[in-house]
Amino acid sequence: MRKWVSLYLFSGLISLTALAGDGDYAVFKIPPALLKNANAVVRVHEQYVELQKEDRLFIREHYVITILNEEGNHFSEFFEPYHKFLEIKSVEGALYDGMGKKLKSLKSKDVEDGSGSGGESLADDNRYKKHNFYYRVYPYTIEYTIESVKKETMFFPSWVPVFGELISVEKSSFAVDVPSGYLLRYKEFNYSREPDIKESGKSKIYTWSLANFESIKREYAAPSWKNIAPYVLFAPSSFVIEDYKGNMNDWSSFGKFILSLNKGRDQLPEPVKAKVAELTRGAGTNEEKVIRLYRYLQANTRYISIQLGIGGWRPLEASFVANKLYGDCKALSNYMYALLKEAGIPSFYTVIKSGDGADDIQVDFSSSQFNHVILSVPLPGDTLWLECTSQTQSPGYMGDFTGNRHAVIITEEGGKLVTTPRYGMKENTQVRNVKAVLNEEATLEIEARSTYSCMQQDDLHMMINALSKDKVKEYLQHQLDFATYEVGRFNYKENQSRFPTIDEELDITVSNYATITGKRLFIVPNIMSRHARRLTPNESRKYEVELDMEYRDIDSVEITIPAGYSVESVPQEVVLDTKFGRFRSSVKMEGNRILYYRSLDHYAGKFPAKEYAELVKFYDAMYKADRAKLVLVKNETTPKSF
């Protein structure tokens, strides 16, 4: 009976493709509301997922997209990755013109098959199928049907009916067919209805559907995509991948599965054990031992991705890394775990979702939402976090890549949900002191001394550790906010700790910095820290405002000007105290010196959409204050012209 139900649904999906004749996908048949603010329209999108065995999923996907203009072209390409655990059985496709007339059918020889290995990957089994009709007479419609088999059940596909910004959806459905006694776990986002559930014999089919969904236009500082568009995340209860069985019903069970993958892979060769003893000899505290061993790891290993089969989830043995001196995040973290274990220091292999600005995981939905592994080391009074893939990062510092989020540590008792270090206002600082001299040709000679800390130093850390000195100068020569300038001396000093800082010294010559008009000289006293963003007012703002980084900037500027000038006007002091941040700037003259002070505390948080107008005013006021000019007038008694 179960097979009959599956075939019944399957045949229904097939029929939609088979019955699509000339004119079915004509653009005039699209409801007008779906064409508004849209670059493309999903005409039909049907996905069917069947749990055939405890270690096998059958997946069929059929979609039809009408491309309305050039901006929608990126939706027209078919791209489907596959690997050892995912086999693409077939790909069919067709191209239609604006009236829905079929112009071309896809042939199997037209599908490109390529390697999906990245530049940092030594070995993996990732590949892809790819195709594009390269048709550019708008509007046009593409259709693809893909059948594939997953040879594991650790990962279920998600339902993402809205592919992206400015794309409407006419019809979309997602059906999951599981044995009636199987616990299908799912979490819905921006979907208010219960799924349609049908049972017949030993089969239970869950179906989610969406119709006539108008396009979404992203707004500045809007929530993440899954928090504004319909989306359903799925996870198994029990699952199988290769020869391993697991359960995801809670974080503890998930952690036990990871623990089973790692078991017995922390053995070190004897020479490395001797090195551990040598490195830790004489260390006064466990923290000092950890830092010594971490520096050893950084100096003697490098990151290379190796993703073959279960190796995408199970780390290479510590002995492999000891001999080869490379590994991926799992292998390097496991190796560091083994080094610490040999030194008698407990630590925890930790899975995390990494990425600058990445969404946090859904803590109330235990599932494999992770793409990275780090190490946590409990010490008296605190935990030391280690990013084992970096050869340059400070021990204990996570930054924007893995900081400010949840993770799961793998203990002998299973997985435990934890949070990584949070970097807020007092940690993410930029303190700058500028001394400058303006000569009579309006050229400004600048000596800028700045200190950046935590997340404000992340980009600089990457730059100075990845680029040669010549490349750093080349970068500086194109990135500073001056029209015409030359970078002279520059220097960077890193101060590594759990809250790292970078000291920057820049000597810059800026031509025509001031503007001379007749007797008057116009100069912007804020030389280097101008707020760059002005927001467009939006009275119909739809989504709440999310500001995700707290930071503090403080600038002190002293500009020496030529003799013979008096003040005509000085920008007024500006003090802005809002729920989004606090800003202050002031200017005064002391003899022939302009003294400027600026501070900005930028807050993080979530704010109602109706308060967006206040954010617009706040940013606009900062933008204007940062560019306010001081006006000087040449004294008539001065014999020498400027």
Farthest-apart Cα atoms in the chain, separation? 104
Q: What mean pLDDT do residues 580-586 have?
A: 98
Q: Are 425 and 600 in contact (CB under 8 A)?
A: no
Q: Which helix (H) or strand (E) holds 301?
A: none
Instruction: Return the amino acid letter for 585.
Output: S
**Last residue within a domain, chosen from 390, 419, 448:** 419
Q: Kindly give, in sequence order, each residue whose CB lies less than 8 Å from that of residue 15, ignoring residues fewer than 6 positions away.
A: none
Torsion of CA 574, 577, 581, 586, to 10 degrees: 20
Strand 444-453, strand 605-607: pairing: unpaired
DSSP labels, 151-217: SBSS-PPPB--S-STTEEEEEEEEEEEEETT---EEEEES--SPPEEEEETTEEEEEEEEEEEPP--
pLDDT confidence of residue 201: 84
- For the stretch 53-103, pLDDT in tens is 999 999 999 999 999 999 999 999 999 999 889 999 999 999 999 999 999
Provide the edge-to-edge strand list for the sheet that holds 140-150. Answer: 102-105, 86-96, 140-150, 56-67, 40-53, 167-179, 203-213, 196-200
Residues 235, 295, single domain; the answer is no
**Last residue within a domain, chosen from 356, 389, 419:** 419
Measuring CA to CA, which residue among 59, 335, 287 is closest to residue 177? 59
Backbone angles phi, psi at 157, to 5 degrees: -60, 155
- For the stretch 89-123, pLDDT in tens is 999 999 999 999 999 999 888 999 988 665 554 55
Find the range with the poorest average confidence among 4-8, 208-212, 331-335, 597-601: 4-8
Residues 534, 596, single domain; the answer is yes
Total domains in the fold of the chain: 3
CATH code for the domain in which residue 7 is found: 2.60.40.3140
User: Tokens for 576?
Assistant: 């802005």
- For the stretch 210-257, pLDDT in tens is 999 999 999 999 999 989 999 999 999 999 998 899 999 999 999 999
pLDDT confidence of residue 16: 38
Residues 10, 152, single domain; the answer is yes
- For the stretch 398-453, pLDDT in tens is 999 999 999 999 999 999 999 999 999 999 999 999 999 999 999 999 999 999 99
Residues 488, 545, single domain; the answer is yes
Burial of 352 (0-12, 13-18, 19+ CB in 10 A): buried
| Segments forming the whole domain that contains residue 63 | 2-239
Beta-bridge partner residues of 114: 128
- For the stretch 254-292, pLDDT in tens is 999 999 999 999 999 999 999 999 999 999 999 999 999
Residues 441, 470, single domain; the answer is yes
**Last residue within a domain, chosen from 181, 205, 239:** 239
Strand 78-82, strand 56-67: pairing: unpaired
CATH code for the domain in which residue 344 is found: 3.10.620.30
Q: How far apart are CA 247 and CA 608, in angstroms?
A: 39
pTM value is 0.89
Measuring CA to CA, which residue among 526, 642, 528, 525 is closest to residue 594? 525
CA distances from 169 to 31, 34, 39, 161 (A): 10, 7, 11, 7
pLDDT confidence of residue 107: 87
pLDDT confidence of residue 307: 67
Residues 8, 141, single domain; the answer is yes
Residues 583, 532, single domain; the answer is yes
Average pLDDT, the chain: 92
Residues 232, 267, single domain; the answer is no
Could you tell me the sign of the dihedral formed by the alpha carbons of 118, 122, 126, 128, in that order? Answer: positive
Residues 261, 153, single domain; the answer is no
Residues 212, 275, single domain; the answer is no
pLDDT confidence of residue 126: 80
